[in-house]
Chain A
Amino acid sequence: MSTDAKDVRSLLVRAARNEARRDGSRTIEAEHVLLALAATEDTDAARMLTEAGLTQDSIRAALANEWEHSLAVAGIAVRIGLLPMATPDNTRDPNIGESTKLLLKRALDARPASGANRITPLRILVGILDTERGRVARALQVAGVDRVALRVKAADALAAG
Protein backbone atom coordinates (compact mmCIF):
# COMPACT_ATOMS: atom_id res chain seq x y z
CA MET A 1 0.00 0.00 0.00
CA SER A 2 1.51 3.28 -1.07
CA THR A 3 -0.48 5.60 1.19
CA ASP A 4 0.77 6.14 4.73
CA ALA A 5 -1.32 4.17 7.24
CA LYS A 6 -1.96 7.19 9.41
CA ASP A 7 -3.28 9.15 6.42
CA VAL A 8 -5.58 6.26 5.55
CA ARG A 9 -6.91 6.17 9.08
CA SER A 10 -7.69 9.88 9.28
CA LEU A 11 -9.20 9.72 5.79
CA LEU A 12 -11.38 6.82 6.90
CA VAL A 13 -12.58 8.61 10.02
CA ARG A 14 -13.43 11.73 8.02
CA ALA A 15 -15.22 9.74 5.31
CA ALA A 16 -17.12 7.62 7.85
CA ARG A 17 -18.22 10.79 9.67
CA ASN A 18 -19.51 12.19 6.35
CA GLU A 19 -21.41 8.95 5.73
CA ALA A 20 -23.01 9.22 9.18
CA ARG A 21 -24.07 12.82 8.48
CA ARG A 22 -25.48 11.85 5.11
CA ASP A 23 -27.41 9.05 6.83
CA GLY A 24 -28.83 11.53 9.36
CA SER A 25 -27.17 9.49 12.11
CA ARG A 26 -25.98 11.03 15.37
CA THR A 27 -23.30 8.35 15.66
CA ILE A 28 -20.72 6.80 13.34
CA GLU A 29 -21.67 3.14 13.07
CA ALA A 30 -19.98 0.15 11.42
CA GLU A 31 -21.97 0.60 8.20
CA HIS A 32 -20.56 4.11 7.80
CA VAL A 33 -17.02 2.78 8.22
CA LEU A 34 -17.75 0.07 5.64
CA LEU A 35 -19.01 2.69 3.15
CA ALA A 36 -15.91 4.79 3.79
CA LEU A 37 -13.70 1.72 3.32
CA ALA A 38 -15.36 0.88 -0.01
CA ALA A 39 -14.52 4.38 -1.25
CA THR A 40 -10.81 4.24 -0.39
CA GLU A 41 -8.58 4.29 -3.42
CA ASP A 42 -5.98 1.66 -4.07
CA THR A 43 -6.41 -0.38 -0.88
CA ASP A 44 -6.55 -4.17 -0.52
CA ALA A 45 -9.76 -3.79 1.48
CA ALA A 46 -11.60 -1.84 -1.24
CA ARG A 47 -10.40 -4.31 -3.90
CA MET A 48 -11.63 -7.24 -1.84
CA LEU A 49 -15.01 -5.60 -1.34
CA THR A 50 -15.34 -4.86 -5.06
CA GLU A 51 -14.50 -8.48 -5.89
CA ALA A 52 -17.34 -9.53 -3.59
CA GLY A 53 -19.66 -7.18 -5.47
CA LEU A 54 -19.62 -4.58 -2.71
CA THR A 55 -19.30 -1.04 -4.04
CA GLN A 56 -20.63 2.02 -2.22
CA ASP A 57 -23.81 1.84 -4.30
CA SER A 58 -24.44 -1.84 -3.69
CA ILE A 59 -23.70 -1.45 0.05
CA ARG A 60 -26.20 1.43 0.27
CA ALA A 61 -28.77 -0.71 -1.55
CA ALA A 62 -28.11 -3.66 0.79
CA LEU A 63 -28.47 -1.42 3.87
CA ALA A 64 -31.77 -0.05 2.54
CA ASN A 65 -32.95 -3.62 1.93
CA GLU A 66 -31.95 -4.64 5.45
CA TRP A 67 -33.90 -1.65 6.80
CA GLU A 68 -37.01 -2.68 4.87
CA HIS A 69 -36.67 -6.30 5.99
CA SER A 70 -36.26 -5.34 9.64
CA LEU A 71 -39.25 -2.99 9.52
CA ALA A 72 -41.26 -5.83 7.98
CA VAL A 73 -40.62 -7.86 11.16
CA ALA A 74 -42.64 -5.19 12.97
CA GLY A 75 -45.31 -5.40 10.27
CA ILE A 76 -44.31 -2.15 8.61
CA ALA A 77 -44.09 -2.03 4.82
CA VAL A 78 -41.92 0.91 3.76
CA ARG A 79 -40.04 1.61 0.58
CA ILE A 80 -36.93 3.32 1.89
CA GLY A 81 -36.41 5.08 -1.44
CA LEU A 82 -39.80 6.75 -1.07
CA LEU A 83 -39.21 8.09 2.46
CA PRO A 84 -39.08 11.89 2.70
CA MET A 85 -35.50 13.11 2.99
CA ALA A 86 -34.27 15.57 5.60
CA THR A 87 -31.52 18.04 4.73
CA PRO A 88 -28.36 16.50 6.26
CA ASP A 89 -26.84 18.38 9.17
CA ASN A 90 -23.37 19.30 7.97
CA THR A 91 -22.71 21.13 11.22
CA ARG A 92 -23.27 17.96 13.21
CA ASP A 93 -20.25 16.13 14.54
CA PRO A 94 -21.36 12.50 15.01
CA ASN A 95 -19.68 10.59 17.82
CA ILE A 96 -18.17 7.14 17.52
CA GLY A 97 -21.00 4.63 17.93
CA GLU A 98 -20.91 1.35 19.81
CA SER A 99 -20.65 -0.79 16.67
CA THR A 100 -17.60 1.23 15.58
CA LYS A 101 -15.96 0.80 18.98
CA LEU A 102 -16.49 -2.95 18.69
CA LEU A 103 -15.13 -3.16 15.16
CA LEU A 104 -12.02 -1.19 16.17
CA LYS A 105 -11.45 -3.56 19.06
CA ARG A 106 -11.82 -6.53 16.69
CA ALA A 107 -9.50 -4.88 14.19
CA LEU A 108 -6.88 -4.50 16.94
CA ASP A 109 -7.32 -8.18 17.85
CA ALA A 110 -6.67 -9.14 14.21
CA ARG A 111 -2.92 -8.66 14.22
CA PRO A 112 -1.01 -9.13 11.01
CA ALA A 113 1.77 -11.75 10.87
CA SER A 114 4.44 -9.10 11.25
CA GLY A 115 2.85 -8.06 14.53
CA ALA A 116 2.75 -4.46 13.40
CA ASN A 117 0.54 -2.21 15.44
CA ARG A 118 -0.66 -0.11 12.53
CA ILE A 119 -4.36 -0.10 11.87
CA THR A 120 -4.72 -0.70 8.14
CA PRO A 121 -7.88 -0.74 5.98
CA LEU A 122 -7.56 -4.53 5.72
CA ARG A 123 -7.53 -4.86 9.50
CA ILE A 124 -10.57 -2.62 9.76
CA LEU A 125 -12.32 -4.79 7.16
CA VAL A 126 -11.61 -7.90 9.26
CA GLY A 127 -12.98 -6.03 12.29
CA ILE A 128 -16.18 -5.13 10.44
CA LEU A 129 -16.74 -8.66 9.15
CA ASP A 130 -15.95 -10.33 12.46
CA THR A 131 -19.50 -10.37 13.81
CA GLU A 132 -22.78 -11.98 12.86
CA ARG A 133 -24.69 -9.24 14.69
CA GLY A 134 -25.70 -5.79 13.60
CA ARG A 135 -26.75 -4.03 10.43
CA VAL A 136 -23.67 -4.82 8.34
CA ALA A 137 -23.93 -8.59 8.83
CA ARG A 138 -27.66 -8.50 8.10
CA ALA A 139 -27.23 -6.28 5.05
CA LEU A 140 -24.57 -8.62 3.64
CA GLN A 141 -26.90 -11.55 4.26
CA VAL A 142 -29.73 -9.82 2.40
CA ALA A 143 -27.32 -9.05 -0.44
CA GLY A 144 -26.28 -12.71 -0.63
CA VAL A 145 -22.67 -12.00 0.27
CA ASP A 146 -20.84 -14.75 2.16
CA ARG A 147 -19.56 -12.69 5.09
CA VAL A 148 -17.64 -15.55 6.71
CA ALA A 149 -15.78 -16.41 3.48
CA LEU A 150 -14.95 -12.76 2.91
CA ARG A 151 -13.69 -12.45 6.47
CA VAL A 152 -11.43 -15.50 6.01
CA LYS A 153 -10.09 -14.04 2.77
CA ALA A 154 -9.34 -10.70 4.42
CA ALA A 155 -7.75 -12.37 7.46
CA ASP A 156 -5.60 -14.56 5.20
CA ALA A 157 -4.40 -11.52 3.26
CA LEU A 158 -3.63 -9.81 6.56
CA ALA A 159 -1.64 -12.82 7.78
CA ALA A 160 0.25 -12.98 4.50
CA GLY A 161 1.28 -9.36 5.00
Chain B
Amino acid sequence: MTELVDPEDPAAGLAAVVALRRLADRLEDSQVEQAMRAGWSWSDVAEVLGVTRQAVHKKHARRLLAAGVALRRR
Protein backbone atom coordinates (compact mmCIF):
# COMPACT_ATOMS: atom_id res chain seq x y z
CA MET B 1 0.00 0.00 0.00
CA THR B 2 2.97 2.33 0.46
CA GLU B 3 3.31 2.82 -3.29
CA LEU B 4 -0.11 4.49 -3.32
CA VAL B 5 1.31 7.46 -1.44
CA ASP B 6 4.66 7.57 -3.22
CA PRO B 7 5.00 11.10 -4.63
CA GLU B 8 7.56 9.79 -7.15
CA ASP B 9 4.93 7.54 -8.72
CA PRO B 10 3.03 9.30 -11.54
CA ALA B 11 0.08 6.91 -11.11
CA ALA B 12 -0.30 8.12 -7.52
CA GLY B 13 0.31 11.74 -8.49
CA LEU B 14 -2.30 11.64 -11.26
CA ALA B 15 -4.77 9.89 -8.96
CA ALA B 16 -4.20 12.75 -6.52
CA VAL B 17 -5.27 15.20 -9.25
CA VAL B 18 -8.54 13.29 -9.71
CA ALA B 19 -9.02 13.11 -5.94
CA LEU B 20 -8.49 16.86 -5.56
CA ARG B 21 -11.00 17.63 -8.32
CA ARG B 22 -13.52 15.37 -6.62
CA LEU B 23 -12.85 17.12 -3.31
CA ALA B 24 -13.23 20.60 -4.85
CA ASP B 25 -16.50 19.56 -6.55
CA ARG B 26 -17.90 18.08 -3.34
CA LEU B 27 -16.93 21.15 -1.31
CA GLU B 28 -18.33 23.54 -3.91
CA ASP B 29 -21.68 21.71 -4.04
CA SER B 30 -22.01 21.52 -0.26
CA GLN B 31 -20.73 25.00 0.56
CA VAL B 32 -22.77 26.83 -2.11
CA GLU B 33 -25.80 24.98 -0.75
CA GLN B 34 -24.92 25.96 2.81
CA ALA B 35 -24.42 29.63 1.85
CA MET B 36 -27.74 29.81 0.00
CA ARG B 37 -29.53 28.14 2.92
CA ALA B 38 -27.98 30.83 5.13
CA GLY B 39 -29.51 33.51 2.90
CA TRP B 40 -26.46 34.54 0.87
CA SER B 41 -27.04 36.15 -2.52
CA TRP B 42 -25.78 34.60 -5.76
CA SER B 43 -23.57 37.67 -6.21
CA ASP B 44 -21.87 37.16 -2.84
CA VAL B 45 -21.24 33.46 -3.51
CA ALA B 46 -19.92 34.27 -6.99
CA GLU B 47 -17.58 36.93 -5.63
CA VAL B 48 -16.04 34.57 -3.08
CA LEU B 49 -15.63 31.81 -5.70
CA GLY B 50 -14.18 34.28 -8.18
CA VAL B 51 -16.69 33.47 -10.92
CA THR B 52 -19.63 35.30 -12.46
CA ARG B 53 -23.05 35.30 -10.85
CA GLN B 54 -24.42 33.69 -14.01
CA ALA B 55 -21.88 30.86 -13.82
CA VAL B 56 -22.67 29.94 -10.22
CA HIS B 57 -26.41 30.27 -10.86
CA LYS B 58 -26.25 28.06 -13.93
CA LYS B 59 -24.25 25.42 -12.09
CA HIS B 60 -26.25 25.24 -8.86
CA ALA B 61 -29.72 26.85 -9.11
CA ARG B 62 -31.62 23.84 -10.44
CA ARG B 63 -30.18 21.47 -7.85
CA LEU B 64 -30.86 23.86 -4.96
CA LEU B 65 -34.41 24.57 -6.11
CA ALA B 66 -35.04 20.81 -6.32
CA ALA B 67 -33.54 20.49 -2.82
CA GLY B 68 -36.12 22.99 -1.56
CA VAL B 69 -33.66 25.79 -0.79
CA ALA B 70 -35.35 29.22 -0.73
CA LEU B 71 -33.22 31.22 -3.17
CA ARG B 72 -32.81 34.99 -3.17
CA ARG B 73 -33.33 36.68 -6.51
CA ARG B 74 -30.03 38.56 -6.50
Q: Which residues of B contact A (CB under 8 A)?
A: 1, 4-7, 11-13, 15-16, 18-20, 22-23, 25-27, 29-31, 33-34, 62-64, 66-67
Q: Are the C-beta atoms of A86 and B26 separated by less than 8 Å? A: yes
- Least CB separation from A83: chain B residue: B26
How many residues of chain A are within 8 Å of chain B by beta carbon? 27
What is the number of contacts between chain A and chain B, taking CB atoms within 8 Å? Answer: 78
Q: Are the C-beta atoms of B5 and A72 separated by less than 8 Å? A: yes
Q: Are the C-beta atoms of A73 and B66 separated by less than 8 Å? A: no
Chain B CB within 8 A of A14 CB = no
Consensus secondary structure, chain B interface: helix
Q: Are the C-beta atoms of B34 and A84 separated by less than 8 Å? A: yes
Q: Which residues of A contact B (CB under 8 A)?
A: 24-26, 66-67, 69-74, 76, 78, 83-87, 89-92, 133, 135, 138, 141-142
Consensus secondary structure, chain A interface: loop
Q: Are the C-beta atoms of A84 and B31 separated by less than 8 Å? A: yes
Q: Are the C-beta atoms of B5 and A69 separated by less than 8 Å? A: yes
Q: In the complex, what distance in Å separates the CA atom of A18 from the CA atom of B27?
A: 20
Q: Are the C-beta atoms of B29 and A86 separated by less than 8 Å? A: yes
Given A138-B4, A142-B4 in contact, is the A70-B30 Cβ separation under 8 Å?
Answer: no
Q: In the complex, what's the smallest C-beta–C-beta distance from B20 to chain A, in angstroms?
A: 6
Q: In the complex, what distance in Å separates the CA atom of A76 from the CA atom of B11?
A: 17
